Amino acid sequence: MDFNYVIAMLLVALGLYCLLLKRNLIKLIIGLVVLTDGIHLFLISLGYRSGGAAAIVSGEMFSDLPGFAAQAVDPIPQALVLTSIVINICILALALSLTIYAYRHYGTLDPSKLRRLKE
Amino acid sequence: MISHAPILAILLPLFAAFLMPVIGILSRRRGIKRAREWFAIAVVLAEFAVVASMLPAVWGGQVLVYQLGGWQPPWGVNLAIDGLNLLVALIVAGIGTLVMIYSFVYMERDTGLDQYYTLFLLIVAGMMGVALTGDIFNLYVFFEIMCISSYALVAFRRKWQSIEASIKYMIVSSLGTSFILLGIALLYGLVGSLNIADLAQKLGQVSPSAVIVPLALFVTGLGIKIAVVPLHMWMPDAYQAAPSAVAALFSGATATVGIYAMVRVVYTLFGAFAIGIMLAALGLVTMVIGALMALAQRDLKRLLAYSGISQVGYVLLGIGLGTVLGIQGGLFHLFNNAIYKTMLFMIAGAIIYRVGTSNMDQLGGLWKNMPVTATLFVVGALAISGVPPFNGFASKWMIYVAGIEAGQPVFTIIALITSALTLAYFLKALNSIFLGQRPKHLSDVKETPLPMMFPIMLLAVLCVVFGVLPQLGIDIVRPAQEAVMNSGGYISAVLGGA
């Protein structure tokens, strides 16, 4: 169970490492995705319960709501992660399309070469 | 108040954004000219009216709580509007309207305007959402809507400048939002709530050492958004490469929204008035480095971007002092900064529109060609440097006095020196753009067109009005300052109000 959190933080750390030290736009974007996926894993683990039921109330469960609540997983982190995944797909798509344009203009994917604006 | 005004303020630009492509197609089929532009202006004007309709209730001391779907807080998502939220919403709607009017002519030479107006309205919707929501995850989502649309708008012209700036902006800023998301996840794990008021109440009972990490994540993430030194590197690039209308919107409204989020999270959510002094110190570093970097710039838009960073430093200094006068001065400066920074970016855009460049080495002597624009630039430059009788003087004065009253005279002295630096780089800009030798090819440059001039003039008038009658401006920001200081009222209004 706690293993989840370790992996999540490991992913976050890996993503950060990739963002800080890699010199390729594609790798930077991969780092960003790994970082956010680490956060997603962390969030979803918060609501996880081993052997828990899906938090959908139907039929006979209405009669025993406290009993149901005792074994259902927390649905809020799932909703949050779904939202966040959608957002990150948008960022990923935009980032990759911008990378294509950058390669057309500069002929390289090295972010340290993208510094003509400062001149 | 218009009924359902809080949610209307968000939905109006959101739906209009997605209607925009349809209107673009219809106007081409039917041959109606400028249908998109008129529609967009009508939407932002309606938006402004909706926000303004909430003014009397909120200024009367009420906290408007709007429950989405009728779910009670802390379970449902709610919109909570106190004086601070409304001040930010007002700035967003006002600046959005003026920049939209400005875009009417400024963007007319570009293609793909359907997308431009769609993204523009999405940014307005995102900013309005951040400004009005009372739910921390909702705040994150609206932040992302705002940011993703901004990345796309910075890259709008797809030249090498815009692509380079947009990539830098996107990677740095996405890192910032990831930090915010991680902070939210930690808070949810800690107390199991997402409602700002409920979180604030529950965090009061948690040991302070547990909230340090989420607080640090929030401050870093939001610090990237508002470009606090040393997290500011993306901003000059983005502002230089974006179309000037977009840069005007960013500097006026987006920066304001970022500072609002910082204040709301640090003061209301965490109740961490103790780290105010850290914000003030960050503000000091930001204002000095921003001003020093601005001195060295050769591009007008880049100079304005650095000067924007520097002005944000003043706001943080005032707010960080944590006294009544300091917060009032900081928020008043935030309000003023939105006015003159937008105006100066609009003037930079006007120069680009007429001349084609904002590189100050290639400009000169434009006073003869554009006398009105030059006069307006002088007004903006004096206002931002804090020279009476313009509005910048009034708010900076309040921050100086607040610094002395709070027992930090050193802060005041540094702020004063930075003001002098501000004046220095604006005089340099004035000299190299409007005075001096005029290059031959600039001799037939014409005055700024009237539809572009109108929003600039309006903002200049506001500069003078709030400078001559500072009490008027203070009356506008006082409800916001009271809201910042009274987080207990916010919490009980959201949780107690049925």
ipTM associated with this complex: 0.94
How far is the C-alpha of B485 from the C-alpha of B267, rounded, in Å? 8
Flag whether A54 is in a domain.
no
pLDDT tens digits, B253-302: 999 999 999 999 999 898 877 788 889 999 999 999 999 999 999 999 99
Flag whether A90 is in a domain.
yes
pLDDT tens digits, B427-448: 999 999 999 888 888 888 888 8
pLDDT-based confidence at B210, cuts 50/70/90?
confident
Residue B60 one-letter amino acid: G
Domain that holds residue A22: 15-49+72-119
User: Which residue from A19, A87, A117 is facing B144, i.e. has the nearest CB?
Assistant: A87
pLDDT of residue B1 exceeding 80, the answer is no
Number of domains forming the structure of chain B: 1
pLDDT tens digits, A36-86: 999 999 999 988 888 777 777 777 777 777 877 778 888 889 999 999 999
Q: Give residue B307's pLDDT.
A: 94
Q: Does A108 touch chain B (CB under 8 A)?
A: no
- Give a three-class secondary structure readout of chain B: CCCCHHHHHHHHHHHHHHHHHHHHHHHHHHCCCCHHHHHHHHHHHHHHHHHHHCHHHHHCCCCEEEEHHHCCCCCCCEEEECHHHHHHHHHHHHHHHHHHHHHHHHCCCCCCHHHHHHHHHHHHHHHHHHHHECEHHHHHHHHHHHHHHHHHHHCCCCCHHHHHHHHHHHHHHHHHHHHHHHHHHHHHHHHCCCEHHHHHHHHCCCCHHHHHHHHHHHHHHHHHHCCCCCCCCHHHHHHHHCCHHHHHHHHHHHHHHHHHHHHHHHHHHCCCHHHHHHHHHHHHHHHHHHHHHHHCCCEHHHHHHHHHHHHHHHHHHHHHHCCHHHHHHHHHHHHHHHHHHHHHHHHHHHHHHHHCCCEHHHCCCCCCCCHHHHHHHHHHHHHHHCCCCCHHHHHHHHHHHHHHHCCCHHHHHHHHHHHHHHHHHHHHHHHHHHCCCCCHHHCCCCCCCHHHHHHHHHHHHHHHHHHHCHHHHHHHHHHHHHHHHCHHHHHHHHHHCC
Q: What is the interface size between A and B, counted as CB pairs within 8 Å?
A: 91
Average pLDDT over residues B67-79: 84
Flag whether A2 is in a domain.
no
User: Which residue from B163, B178, B189 is facing A35, i.e. has the nearest CB?
Assistant: B178
Number of domains forming the structure of chain A: 1
Average pLDDT over residues B95-109: 93
pLDDT-based confidence at B498, cuts 50/70/90?
very low
Nearest alpha carbon to residue B241 among B136, B163, B127:
B163
Domain that holds residue B163: 5-496
Q: Give residue A119's pLDDT.
A: 64
CB atoms within 10 A of CB B437: 8
Flag whether A105 is in a domain.
yes
CATH number for the domain that contains residue A110: 1.10.287
pLDDT of residue B358 exceeding 50, the answer is yes
Q: Does A78 touch chain B (CB under 8 A)?
A: no
For the ranges A73-77, B126-130, B217-221, B286-290, which has the lowest average pLDDT? A73-77
Nearest alpha carbon to residue B179 among A21, A111, A12:
A12
* Chain B environment of A43 (Cβ under 8 Å): 185, 188
User: Which residue from A32, A80, A99 is facing B174, i.e. has the nearest CB?
Assistant: A32
For the ranges B73-77, B170-174, B355-359, which has the lowest average pLDDT? B73-77
pLDDT tens digits, B186-198: 999 998 889 999 9
Angle between helices B324-355 and B371-385 (to 10 degrees): 160
Q: Give residue B204's pLDDT.
A: 84
pLDDT tens digits, A4-15: 899 999 999 999
pLDDT tens digits, A16-43: 999 999 999 999 999 999 999 999 999 9
pLDDT of residue A117 exceeding 80, the answer is no
Dihedral angle of Cα B288, B294, B295, B298, to the nearest 10 degrees: 170
Flag whether A24 is in a domain.
yes
For the ranges B33-42, B72-81, B180-189, which has the lowest average pLDDT? B72-81
Q: Does B296 touch chain A (CB under 8 A)?
A: no
Residue in chain A closest to B142 (alpha carbons) equals A87
Q: Does B168 touch chain A (CB under 8 A)?
A: yes
Q: Give residue B3's pLDDT.
A: 81
Flag whether A88 is in a domain.
yes
Average pLDDT over residues B319-330: 92
Q: Give residue B497's pLDDT.
A: 52
CA distance A29 to chain B (A): 8
* Chain B environment of A23 (Cβ under 8 Å): none
